[in-house]
């Protein structure tokens, strides 16, 4: 691994020059800008743990391509053990950053692409797999951060790509040259984009025959000409003054992933970086595998966040004098219960993993969809319980400026204190942490990241094997099962 | 009514000089300061509707003390019709402001105090009721805004007032003079305090014999010497630049009530403004009546907010092209269902209202507690559904600066558009409205305002008439009911 | 009222001779047959309370047609007070019988028909209203029990009446004579049918032009020639031996209403008993009003049942020694909370009642639908909590035969005892009561009676005034509202 | 395996003579009695699948004691693969019987005892382990069915064993002889007891020093002198006439496990069958391990049941013509989602299994408790959804006698038909299956089997590692963590 730790990662970012806007202005250095630096620090944790004795085993892997030690975030899963170690690594990262660390999306893109392009080549005689491996070995060796870019803007959602009034609502090829292709469009909600090295583009949905130009998989560096990023706003994103470190809730790491729009205004991609071009019949499989991997991960990172939230609330009840209340214990029990229920699905879909023809391991797709579906419910409920136990002062707490004010600081210290001996500042810090982790952006991301709830429900119904279940019921009451006339719903 | 409309209300605030701090600095004019003005405008709506033909009937009442037309927010409920009209008025105000309009807390304080001090006088021969009526007539005639001040800081919550290491954790009398009393302490989470005229202080809980100095009800003007307010932070409270009107989500009105700490550092209260002083045996009744009224109201104002949220999400699905999806309709149905379930409890506890000895009407206390308990569940769930239907771009949307930027404005307009013909700006405005109404502060207030969830559960259990219910069960299976040995749990 | 109490009611049933089958055999006397008598006793309670001083006020009303005192179950609601008294009466009846007392369905049929046929006459110049009043005065004066018969078998639910392979899947006119009509078909799930005097038939859904023969409202005596009833099975319906009185759970009253199929095999109905014949355009209104009234009632009778269940479980925890557990109290609190939330909607839709042109009062239809929707959720949840607190022995308890056995009675008494001094028999009785009230039939009826859950959701969405809500949201963020182009979803 | 298939199992039961009562009478042959035979048939399925090619791999194992092929139900888990295969076997059995097949409880008793007595011997120098292995080898070789007997009657639940007025409320030693012990007491809710060969007794809870006589583990044959069983009632348990095969819902297999009281009236147990006697300090560990294994299993067998229920409901909607409704699909999706969420926890706690000192593998205890906790919620919800989709006729359906009646059979056939071409009988069979699987006993067992909900919550809180979670939160906001002063809640 060329990049061996957090410091080297940060250094590496300073050498590239992506075009990034935020609040109408250009960001010159993402590693130092108040808006982007906290997110970059979360990603840096993925690099840091790789050299940490305690975590090395889960944070790294041995490349099946080169035999070299690589970051697990660049690894193609070679078995169930890999899938489970990844889950454990993600939970630890969630615990240590209390937020999104952004590298899953690239990892899942790599794994989905690897297995699918192998099958394209097998069926169609193309050579995407070799191209992709070459690119991947570089990613592994240099330990680059890749943003998996899937979600298109979609414009009018009642219409597909080919029927949009504006064809650019889905990324597509606008020109084909001898040495490559030119693409146009945009990808939204790009987690970690501003502090990544590479973009791996994938189609956002299964494409039909009419949408060949939209069936594109390719890789581009973040600073390729024609690329512009716009960094999105987050709840309370202006609390970044030095005297608002407490008020930010998370003085070191960001909230959520730090998402950006990536606009591609006629970006050239050389042939060796193109991994799918027009094979519409494989787009569904690609999206599906990516989504399954990504949904599996949400039950790992989010449980890390819930661990933090449970700890924060437990501590707060201790320093407020309410920890012994039976309803307090019961609600904390419920937080843990929901968190571990979620974790079960990440572990289970990994334990039930299976090898694709390429050798890359997939998670069980039913259980992975179940996992993400529960994230969209439980994260809100855990947050609701945290807010319940923390108390109403979360919503009315004065600022750090007031805490430190000569005029009113004594009042804040006095009237926001808890049990004797604990500094008011501790109580405020924890309150702000809970505020940051339960409000707005944090929960919205849980709802929609890796696909909105309805997307999972469609898959759960489809994979539900209704016909087999009907046979079970018929057998129990003695209704004849006609074997050769499967009924379709 | 001296103050007849919103403009006169705003004018009246400019004539008083409360001491208010925010982010470490003094606010000189609450009507113009970016942090407080939006909240003041919500309160102004309560004045504005009183002169509006369509709403006059629910917005005003006839004083039973003077026979004059007064704001409903200064009225002592004289019957069930009053209680129901109030509920309807609150829902309209919620619909028109999308937030807290702050005057309930004073109204509920007035109603609770009125009925309780009447009973104190009856029992103990005191003359609090006359004092209170005199004060109230002035409030009604001048149409002043009153902040009902109940919640004390409480310090170590495992200890009562008399056992706190710091006696000031509950407001108490520190000196008794011939002409009045001197009080010290603080009240937290004071909704609307910074744009009120008067403070009506009440004890925060039932007091025992040892806490006579804490059993105080009295009124003080907001700018009395010794009073200092500190205005709390809210989620995304820095989005107040003119070029962030969209990003604020609510360009006119605030989020929640604009809560403040009110510190009382040896404030003198003249005798004619003291309505309870040491009658600990009546504190429980006062708190209970205040809480019941206040809890009843939450099912009215919050349903107004949910109406806005339902409308916002419905519109968003229309302009995104998803409105016809069956799961979309089902989730909107659920939002409406939860909203109306909540409304039912506000109507029901009013329809089951009953007269206190003073003639002031109380709501049914069981049903009022049930109402608030459901607020603490349904508001989160309605918000969750709104976030689900709105889509992930709520969390990643670029700023208004970017929308208006010469460099990237065209990208924002293009890639955040929806169905043809609708300006991207509309979609952004609605998204930001939903963001503001579903994140952080908005929901935390719903959880804890008018009492935390556990407070309602205690009342629900207490009022559950378990013994009577046991008799019903015994009767059905033929177990003898011993009439004169009631079993206590 | 000719029938003045329970005994007279029972006597009256012995004078009529409906054709009823159960388990393949004819029931000769419903008042004495083990399958039907318990249900009849529940209905008898509606008669009994009318002469009870404590309940007279809610159990009777003054007929607006005759000025005479009548049973509230034959009354046309003349105002909000009537609607609310009815709700309170239903809750008391639920408390006293722990089950369905069956007379609502006739009451709601009377009220819906009364108001709708008035409007038919007004619009079309027919004379249904006079016919109906004449019939109704007899019902009131004699105090007859009427079964409101709405639900048709429906056959293939993907097809309407006119498209069914078998036209009899909906009741319809098969012959028109000078002096009346002949009808054929069936009504399912007819609550209280076997112990009623009269059947009031109504169409089961809004009918279109092609279904004129199905748009029929008429009344027939239960023993009219051509009518056959088949009494349905219920959970544990064979526990009726004298030595199974404990095991039945409810030794006096039945579980649910005692539902029957009523088949009409060419039944003649004289003209004076026909209240609608072919006016398809009014069928929707009729169904809608009936359903709204009926849905409103479910929040009253079921809360009566929940009161019994809460009492039963509370008592059981006392005699098992678990009543003081904090989680026990919390679950009982939740049972009460859900029960009272439900009650709120019954009260609220009544308090928001409104007069139809005939003078008959309707409940608020939105809130009535909300009420029933919650029944379909809360009754299951309350049952689940009851089962949780009661303990697993509900499912494994030996029989009353064993309790009374010379061989093993001593073991049952010893090993199913609870706290000292309470006979084991008491514990068993309460356990069996809970078993009877939480299993199978009891909950299924709550789910589907007065319309299945989806039926309410359709109405809630339709009445949700989405367009108005959208205007509220637009107003708050400054999106222009085009007044004259309402958008339809 | 001596017993190789279902037929041999049934034969083996006819050779033993346990004393069993049901409804006050003695059962002479459990394999033929209408009350017990259906349950015996479910257990027989565990024997039958062992010789079935498709299931052999999951249904059998290789004994680590003898190297011989044995039933998985007599196996001590030797690794994670064993744990996962067991889960898959249980789900298949649930699918094939739609009910409890009863052998888990013995399996879990074997595994818990094996690992705990090993540790007792290690610590105290006793020789329980050798005794136990000898007994176990016989169980394995003969393939006997063992009922794990844990739950004592408990009498007054606010008191422990030593404080009960009646000492027999917990099984205990009443006499110690040279060659063995004499025990007295009873075990309740004994699943499969009446059709088992052996009883493995274990204490029901952690015992303290004062309860040495209650700290007993031993094995006795079901027909040992002094043992009396009383078979409990189940919902609708009298539907066993030949003409009620449809009405029974499950013509072949029983509902739930067929639970019995086992009373021990001075039963002698020879020393070689005593595996713990007085080692109170190990009782907690034993109960805990047993409970964890047993809780893990509930997420497997119950998902099998939910598969059946989902199939039954899906089929019913097809033959009623409602299968295409979007709300129907959505509810079936939810049934599948909850089922698979549950399955995840069974798989996950197995995948996270760990070896005890004896080599026997334990499941992850946190995740196993989470699993069972969800059973107590999801089974009710899945049942509620099934009842919703099935329709109200579940509660009002006439009997099979009526279907076959010459008088009314034609009416039942006609009016309970669905889409053309499907016999009414099929619709009735499926309806009765759903009725049997969603009502009363079936759900009560899910709630309390393997421990009531609160039992799991206590474990979840205990294992929640709150202190570690607090450290995570502190680290994120910069509050110092004092390493050596762990705070206990």
Measure CB to CB from residue B461 to each of C332, C474, C477 and give the nearest one.
Answer: C332
Active site residue C301: yes
> What pLDDT shows up at residue A483?
60
Mutation for testing the C interface, residue in A158, A325, A327 having most C CBs under 10 Å: A327
Q: What confidence category does residue A484 fall into, taking pLDDT thresholds of 50, 70 and 90?
A: very low
CB contact under 8 A, B429 and C469: no
In chain A, the residue whose alpha carbon lies closest to the alpha carbon of B326 is A454
The number of C-beta contacts closer than 8 angstroms across B and D is 8
CB contact under 8 A, D351 and A250: no
CB contact under 8 A, D476 and A98: yes
Q: What is the mean pLDDT of residues B356-367?
A: 98
CB contact under 8 A, B344 and C340: no
CA distance A360 to A486: 32
In chain B, the residue whose alpha carbon lies closest to the alpha carbon of A455 is B327
A57 inside 8 A of chain C by CB? no
- Cα end-to-end distance, chain C, whole Å: 51
Interface of C with D in 248-307 (CB under 8 A): 256, 259-261, 263
CB contact under 8 A, C475 and B371: no
The number of C-beta contacts closer than 8 angstroms across A and B is 263
C408 inside 8 A of chain D by CB? yes
In chain C, the residue whose alpha carbon lies closest to the alpha carbon of B437 is C473
C334 inside 8 A of chain A by CB? no
In chain A, the residue whose alpha carbon lies closest to the alpha carbon of C325 is A326
Look up residue A420 and give its two tokens: 């004797």
CA distance D155 to D26: 26
Directed axis angle between helix C365-390 and helix D440-448, to 10°?
60
> What pLDDT shows up at residue D487?
45
What are the pLDDT digits (tens) for B308-335? 999 999 999 999 999 999 999 999 999 9
Mutation for testing the D interface, residue in A426, A456, A464 having most D CBs under 10 Å: A464
> What pLDDT shows up at residue B103?
97
What are the pLDDT digits (tens) for B26-56? 999 999 999 999 999 999 999 999 999 999 9
Residue from B143, B138, B122 nearest B4 by CA: B143
Q: What confidence category does residue B243 fall into, taking pLDDT thresholds of 50, 70 and 90?
A: confident
CB contact under 8 A, D318 and A489: yes
Directed axis angle between helix A283-320 and helix D466-477, to 10°?
90
Q: Model's pTM, two decimal places?
A: 0.97
Interface of C with A in 104-143 (CB under 8 A): none
Pairing of strands C180-191, C259-270: antiparallel
What are the pLDDT digits (tens) for A88-122? 999 999 999 999 999 999 999 999 999 999 999 99
Look up residue D98 and give its two tokens: 């739609």
What are the pLDDT digits (tens) for B251-271? 999 988 899 999 999 999 999
- Cα end-to-end distance, chain D, whole Å: 51
> What pLDDT shows up at residue D483?
60
CA distance C238 to D274: 44
> What pLDDT shows up at residue D243?
86
CA distance D67 to D53: 20
CA distance C298 to C302: 6
> What pLDDT shows up at residue B257?
85
- Residue D481 pLDDT exceeds 90: no
> What pLDDT shows up at residue C483?
60
- Residue C320 pLDDT exceeds 70: yes
Average pLDDT taken over every residue of chain A: 96
> What pLDDT shows up at residue D242?
81
Catalytic residue among C60, C74, C97, C191: C191
What are the pLDDT digits (tens) for C416-427? 999 999 999 999
Residues of chain C in contact with residue A334, where contact means CB-CB under 8 angstroms, are none
Query: CB of C202 within 8 A of CB of C407?
Result: no
Residue, of B239 and D486, whose pLDDT is higher: B239
Instruction: Give partners of D (≥3 CB pairs < 8 A).
Output: A, B, C
Mutation for testing the B interface, residue in A229, A395, A411, A452 having most B CBs under 10 Å: A395
D326 inside 8 A of chain B by CB? yes
What are the pLDDT digits (tens) for B204-227? 999 999 999 999 999 999 999 999
Residue from A416, A421, A391 nearest A402 by CA: A416
> What pLDDT shows up at residue D439?
84
Residues of chain B in contact with residue D330, where contact means CB-CB under 8 angstroms, are 326-327, 330
Query: CB of A262 within 8 A of CB of A21?
Result: no
CB contact under 8 A, C321 and D157: yes
D241 inside 8 A of chain B by CB? no
Beta bridge partners of D228: D263
In chain A, the residue whose alpha carbon lies closest to the alpha carbon of C330 is A327
Catalytic residue among D9, D46, D100, D118: D100
Mutation for testing the C interface, residue in B295, B477, B488 having most C CBs under 10 Å: B477
Q: Which residues of B are annotated as catalytic?
A: 100, 104, 191, 259, 294, 298, 301, 445
CA C396, C397, C400, C403 dihedral sign is: positive
CA distance A90 to A300: 6
- Residue D315 pLDDT exceeds 90: yes
C79 inside 8 A of chain B by CB? no
> Residues, chain D, total?
489
Active site residue C11: no
CB contact under 8 A, D470 and A96: no
Residues of chain A in contact with residue B170, where contact means CB-CB under 8 angstroms, are none
Q: What is the mean pLDDT of residues C393-415?
A: 97
Give DSSP secondary structure letters for C32-66. T-TTTHHHHHHHHHHHHGGG-TTTHHHHEEE-TTT
> What pLDDT shows up at residue A295?
98
Q: What confidence category does residue D286 fall into, taking pLDDT thresholds of 50, 70 and 90?
A: very high
- The H or E element spanning position C304 is helix C283-320
**SS3 state of residue B274:** strand
B330 inside 8 A of chain D by CB? yes
> What pLDDT shows up at residue B483?
60
How remote is the C-alpha of D37 from its chain's centroid? 18
Q: What confidence category does residue C257 fall into, taking pLDDT thresholds of 50, 70 and 90?
A: confident
Q: What is the mean pLDDT of residues D251-255?
A: 92
Active site residue D100: yes
CB contact under 8 A, B189 and A449: no
Q: Please state whether D108 falls in left (phi above 0), alpha (psi between -120 and 50) or beta.
A: alpha
What are the pLDDT digits (tens) for D147-203? 999 999 999 999 999 999 999 999 999 999 999 999 999 999 999 999 999 999 999
- Residue C68 pLDDT exceeds 60: yes
Interface of D with C in 163-192 (CB under 8 A): 165-166, 168-169, 186, 188-189
Residues of chain B in contact with residue A427, where contact means CB-CB under 8 angstroms, are none
D468 inside 8 A of chain A by CB? yes
């Amino acid at each position: 691994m060329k990049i061996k730790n957090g410091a080297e990662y940060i250094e590496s970012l300073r050498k590239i020059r992506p075009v990034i806007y935020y609040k109408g202005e250009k960001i010159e250095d993402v590693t130092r800008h108040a808006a982007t630096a906290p997110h970059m620090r979360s990603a840096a944790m993925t690099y840091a743990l790789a050299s940490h004795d305690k975590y090395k085993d889960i944070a790294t892997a041995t490349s099946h391509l080169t035999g070299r030690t690589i970051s697990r975030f660049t690894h193609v899963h070679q078995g169930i053990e890999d899938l489970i170690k990844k889950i454990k690594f993600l939970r630890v990262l969630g615990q240590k950053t209390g937020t999104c660390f952004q590298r899953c999306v690239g990892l899942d893109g790599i794994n989905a692409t690897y297995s699918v392009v192998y099958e394209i080549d097998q069926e169609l005689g193309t050579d995407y797999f070799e191209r992709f491996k070459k690119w991947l070995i570089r990613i592994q060796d240099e330990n680059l951060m890749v943003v998996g870019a899937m979600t298109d803007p979609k414009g009018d959602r009642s219409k597909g790509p080919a029927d949009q009034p504006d064809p650019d609502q889905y990324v597509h090829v606008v020109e084909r040259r001898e040495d490559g292709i030119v693409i146009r469009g945009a990808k939204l909600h790009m987690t970690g984009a501003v502090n990544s090295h590479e973009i791996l583009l994938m189609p956002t949905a299964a494409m039909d025959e009419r949408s060949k130009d939209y069936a594109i998989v390719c890789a581009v560096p973040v600073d390729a000409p024609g690329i512009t990023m716009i960094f999105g706003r987050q709840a309370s994103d202006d609390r970044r003054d030095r005297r608002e470190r407490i008020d930010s809730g998370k003085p070191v790491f960001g909230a959520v992933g730090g998402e950006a729009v990536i606009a591609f205004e006629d970006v050239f991609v050389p042939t060796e970086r193109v991994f799918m071009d027009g094979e519409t019949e494989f787009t569904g499989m690609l999206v599906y595998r990516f989504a399954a991997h990504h949904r599996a991960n949400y039950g790992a990172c989010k449980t890390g966040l819930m661990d933090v939230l449970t700890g924060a609330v437990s501590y707060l009840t201790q320093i407020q004098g309410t920890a012994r209340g039976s309803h307090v214990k019961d609600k904390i029990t419920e937080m843990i219960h929901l968190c571990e229920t979620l974790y079960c699905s990440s572990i289970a879909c990994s334990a039930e993993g299976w090898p694709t023809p390429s050798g890359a391991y997939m998670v069980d797709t039913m259980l992975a969809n179940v996992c993400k579906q529960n994230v969209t419910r439980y994260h809100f409920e855990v947050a609701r319980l945290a807010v319940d136990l923390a108390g109403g002062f979360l919503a009315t707490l004065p600022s750090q400026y007031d805490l430190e004010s000569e005029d009113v600081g004594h009042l804040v210290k006095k009237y926001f204190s808890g049990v004797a001996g604990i500094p008011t500042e501790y109580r405020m810090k924890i309150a702000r942490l809970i505020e940051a982790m339960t409000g707005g952006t944090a929960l919205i991301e849980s709802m929609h990241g890796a696909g909105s709830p309805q997307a999972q429900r469609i898959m759960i119904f489809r994979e539900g094997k209704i016909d087999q279940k009907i046979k079970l019921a018929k057998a129990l009451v003695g209704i004849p099962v006609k074997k050769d006339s499967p009924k379709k719903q």
